[in-house]
Chain A
Amino acid sequence: DAGVIQSPRHEVTEMGQEVTLRCKPISGHNSLFWYRQTMMRGLELLIYFNNNVPIDDSGMPEDRFSAKMPNASFSTLKIQPSEPRDSAVYFCASRMGGAYSNQPQHFGDGTRLSIL
């Protein structure tokens, strides 16, 4: 079975540029999560969608970050304008079930983002 697919795997861009990260969740999963992982802050939840609707975006750092889920098979995380402190590995995860579910999350392999 295909797992969570993220693209690109690596992204290097200059400060000020727009960055778009993409995620295709596992078919049939109705919850989707975006995380950011850094050495300093560990794994941080940025936003959580259920049935394509954003449920909790309290982890989104600031207005430069935005996430969309136009349909059940695709989500994007956009940073505009990007800054060096946004450099991190960004993970997408999906899961079956609603808010209070005992199902585990399935993670993609992440996008390693470097902002110069």
Chain B
Amino acid sequence: AQSVTQLGSHVSVSEGALVLLRCNYSSSVPPYLFWYVQYPNQGLQLLLKYTSAATLVKGINGFEAEFKKSETSFHLTKPSAHMSDAAEYFCAVSTTTSGTYKYIFGTGTRLKVLA
């Protein structure tokens, strides 16, 4: 069955430190993968997406993610955290099996940035 697992419901980093948010997926066919960000009282916004082109995907606000098929991972990184990065981040997978469409979100990781 298709699934998305985000390790760590809460992550804290210091301002200027590396951000690493983990996402592992399970899919029987090559998936499309997405990272979204949600700021308070807002809907989800797309950060970046993987659609079987380059394995290293660059998104908005300095974020990037690397698709690693061998590890079934799509971790989100940013070299230097900024206070404005504090938000909740969701990994999502879009896939299909036997004609059944699935778009699955992970449970989210809340990022806290410490001054």
Contact = CB atoms under 8 A, between A and B. Distances in A.
A113 interface: no
B108 A93 contact: no
A108 B99 CA distance: 28
Contacts of A109: 41-43
Interface string B36-73: 10000111111001011000000000000000000000
A26 B49 CA distance: 19
B94 A55 contact: no
Given A43-B90, A100-B94, A100-B101, A4 B107 contact: no
Contacts of B96: 99-100
A71 interface: no
Question: What class of interface size applies to chain A in its complex with B?
Answer: 20 to 34
Per DSSP, chain B at the interface is: strand
A112 B99 CA distance: 34
Most buried by A among B34, B44, B45: B44
Chain A, interface SS category: strand
Interface string B67-109: 0000000000000000000000010001110010101010110
A91 B103 contact: no
B32 A91 contact: no
Contact of B49 (A33, A104, A107, A112): A104
Interface in A29-86: 33, 42-43, 45, 48, 55-56
25 contacts: A4-B43, A42-B105, A42-B107, A42-B108, A43-B44, A43-B105, A48-B101, A55-B101, A91-B43, A91-B44, A93-B44, A99-B99, A100-B94, A100-B96, A102-B32, A102-B49, A104-B49, A105-B44, A105-B46, A105-B103, A106-B46, A107-B36, A107-B45, A110-B43, A112-B41
Interface of B: 32, 34, 36, 41-46, 49, 51-52, 90, 94-96, 99, 101, 103, 105, 107-108
- 4 closest pairs, A vs B, by CB? A107-B43, A99-B101, A102-B51, A104-B46
